[in-house]
Amino acid sequence: MNILTFDIEEWFHLLDHPTTKTEQQWCTYESRIHKNMETIFGILERQQVSASFFVVGWIAEKYPEIVRKIHERGYEIGSHTHTHQLAHEQDRKTFYNDVEKSIKTIEDVIGKKVELFRAPGFSITEDNKWAFEALYELGITTDSSVFPIDHAHGGLRGYPSNIPSLIKYNGITLKEFPINAKSVIGKQMVFSGGGYFRLLPYSFIKKATLKSDYVMGYFHPRDFDFTQPVLQDLSSVRRFKSYVGLKTCEPKLEKWLGEFNFVDIATAAEQINWNERKVSVLD
The answer on pLDDT for 115 being more than 90 is yes
pLDDT tens string 230-248? 888 878 888 888 889 999 9
Region 8-35: mean pLDDT is 87
The answer on pLDDT for 102 being more than 90 is yes
3-state secondary structure the chain: CEEEEEEECCCCCCCCCHHHCCHHHHCCCCCCHHHHHHHHHHHHHHHCCCCEEEECHHHHHHCHHHHHHHHHCCCEEEECCCCCCCHHHCCHHHHHHHHHHHHHHHHHHHCCCCCEECCHHHCCCCCCCHHHHHHHHCCCCEECCCCCCCECCECCCCCCCCCCEEEEECCEEEEECCCCCEEECCEEECCCEHHHHHHCCHHHHHHHHHCCCCEEEEECHHHHCCCCCCCCCCCHHHHHHHHCCHHHHHHHHHHHHHHCCCECHHHHHHHCCHHHCCEEECC
Region 260-281: mean pLDDT is 89
Tell which wins on pLDDT, 217 or 148. 217
Res 126: pLDDT: 87
25-39, 156-170, 193-207, 215-229: least confident range: 156-170
Q: Which amino acid is at 157?
A: R
Region 167-192: mean pLDDT is 86
Q: Tell me the whole-structure pTM to 2 decimals.
A: 0.94
pLDDT tens string 24-74? 888 889 999 999 999 999 999 999 999 999 999 999 999 999 999 999 999
**pLDDT-based confidence at residue 184 (cuts at 50, 70, 90):** confident
Res 149: pLDDT: 76
**pLDDT-based confidence at residue 17 (cuts at 50, 70, 90):** confident
Res 70: pLDDT: 98
In angstroms, the Cα distances linking 192 to 79, 123, 223, 226 are 21, 18, 13, 19
- What's the whole-number average pLDDT of the chain? 92
What CATH number was assigned to the domain covering residues 2-281? 3.20.20.370
Domain ranges (residues) in the chain: 2-281
pLDDT tens string 103-114? 999 999 999 999
Res 242: pLDDT: 81
Res 151: pLDDT: 66
Region 125-139: mean pLDDT is 95
Q: How many CB atoms lie within 10 A of CB 44?
A: 18
Tell which wins on pLDDT, 12 or 154. 12
